[in-house]
Chain A
Amino acid sequence: MQPIARPRADLVDLLDRVLDRGLVLEADVIVCLAGVPLIGIRLRAALAGVETMVRHGLMGEWDQGIRQASRTDRTVAAAIPVPTVRPRLEHLPALQVADD
């Protein structure tokens, strides 16, 4: 069996997690930024993917599905709604169907 890649987390792996995730402390003693924070915007733009194979919005139901399934019964995979992965190939050049 081929081992899968197990790299260390890089900046791209950490960027959204550190900037957008984590516990949000909601209290009036927190220093807040006025308006849209500038931090990270340019960095994220530079690292953004050029093309996505799966439309994020369509997968929300799937996301909620597995969360619900995990909460209720970890073994009931069938309860998870059908995912809506849409791998798209329209950007590929014409194919050589016959064998090389």
Chain B
Amino acid sequence: MEHPTQQALEPATSAPPSRELEGLYVYCIGPLVEGGSLGAIGIEGREVLAIECNRFTAAVHSCDAHPYESRDAEVVASWVMAHHRVVNAAWSRYGTVLPLTFNTIIKAQPGGDARANLAEWLESERETLNAKLEALAGRAEYALQLFWEPRLVMKQMARSDPELMRLQEESRAKPRGAAYMHRQRLESLLKRKTEAAVEAECRALHGRLSRWVDDVRIERPRGESGQSQMLMNLSCLVPASQVHDLEAELSSVCEREGFSARLVGPLPPYSFC
């Protein structure tokens, strides 16, 4: 079932007086700050309110107590971007937030309202939430992706590895039939050596990461992009003071021919709460 559109949620002028919406979509929780409107930046253009609730601040919009569902990729994409827009705005404003997963809608109970339920939950989780907020203060999430171009790296290997260089010379001196078999073995060795070298590069980079990164989550690498292939895809929790050094380290790795990196952030700490 499709979630009602904004038009459906808002009564027409000829409709009876507006009813209290019975759900509260919660984008994120932050430390207590002054409440107010974050603007009409929410899902489907809803106005997002920062409400003070039990010594926390929650970024919310009122909605029906029904989850957002759609089979339309464009609609889902717009919801995802809107959810992020709100979390990001709150994060910028409050310094630290705990993003809630998409579609977190608190419903009212008979005789009560959703806000009271939110307050009750915040009270019951107070210590945990405060500990998380404290742990994430001054830190941001970054997507760190390392790419390589196999052909370039292999060419470099073929030109620099003494054993491969010697075998290439031997191959040229062999008669045609024997040279073919020899080159097959040579290519196999080149692949193995390249794989080992790239694996070693990844191990080394990973080993160094803990100098600058508080936490790491390994993501599934994405597909190819042109000649490049993604080698590592990480979500990293990085203290603000370490971002520059992390970037310098990645630049250093990318000085090697055939390697490149992408560092996306700062992002709210979606993966670490």
**Which residues of A approach B to under 8 Å, CB–CB?**
1-9, 11-25, 27, 29-33, 37-40, 42-43, 46, 48-54, 56, 59-60, 62-63, 66-67, 69-70, 74-78, 80, 82-83, 85-90, 92, 94-95, 97-99
Contact: B187 with A97, CB < 8 Å?
yes
- Is residue B10 contacting chain A, with contact meaning CB distance below 8 A? no
Contact: B230 with A23, CB < 8 Å?
no
**Most interface-central of B70, B155, B164, B206 (chain A CB within 10 A):** B206
- The residue that A9 contacts in the complex, of B23, B84, B132, with Cβ under 8 A, is B84
**What CA separation (Å) do A63 and B172 show in the bound complex?**
46
A-B contact pairs, 15 of them (CB 8 A): A13-B143, A14-B80, A18-B102, A21-B101, A23-B98, A39-B102, A54-B231, A66-B206, A70-B215, A76-B210, A80-B207, A87-B231, A89-B150, A89-B195, A97-B186
Contact: A18 with B251, CB < 8 Å?
no
In the A-B complex, list the 8 residue pairs whose CB atoms are closest, starting with the nearest: A49-B223, A17-B270, A22-B101, A21-B270, A49-B222, A29-B117, A31-B105, A22-B99
- Is residue B32 contacting chain A, with contact meaning CB distance below 8 A? no
- The residue that B121 contacts in the complex, of A5, A29, A76, with Cβ under 8 A, is A29
List residues of chain B with CB within 8 A of the CB of A11: 77, 80-81
**What CA separation (Å) do A17 and B81 show in the bound complex?**
11
Chain B 69-109: CB-based contact to A (< 8 A → 1; otherwise 0): 11101001101110110010000000000111111111101
Q: List the B residue with the shortest CB-CB distance to A3.
A: B251
List residues of chain B with CB within 8 A of the CB of A90: 191
**What CA separation (Å) do A83 and B193 show in the bound complex?**
17
Having A22-B104, A82-B203, one finds 11 other A-B pairs with CB under 8 Å, namely A5-B260, A9-B264, A21-B270, A22-B102, A23-B98, A23-B101, A29-B107, A29-B109, A29-B117, A87-B194, A89-B195
Stretch at the interface among B33-41, B44-52, B60-68: B60-68
List residues of chain B with CB within 8 A of the CB of A54: 221, 231-232
Q: List the A residue with the shortest CB-CB distance to B223.
A: A49
How many residue-residue contacts, CB under 8 A, span A and B? 256
Contact: A4 with B150, CB < 8 Å?
no
**What CA separation (Å) do A49 and B195 show in the bound complex?**
21
- From residue 200 to 214 of chain B, which have CB atoms closer than 8 A to chain A? 202-203, 206-211, 213-214
Contact: B220 with A4, CB < 8 Å?
no
List residues of chain A with CB within 8 A of the CB of B9: none
- The residue that A42 contacts in the complex, of B73, B151, B271, with Cβ under 8 A, is B73
List residues of chain A with CB within 8 A of the CB of B77: 11, 43
Contact: A30 with B104, CB < 8 Å?
yes
List residues of chain A with CB within 8 A of the CB of B202: 83, 85, 87
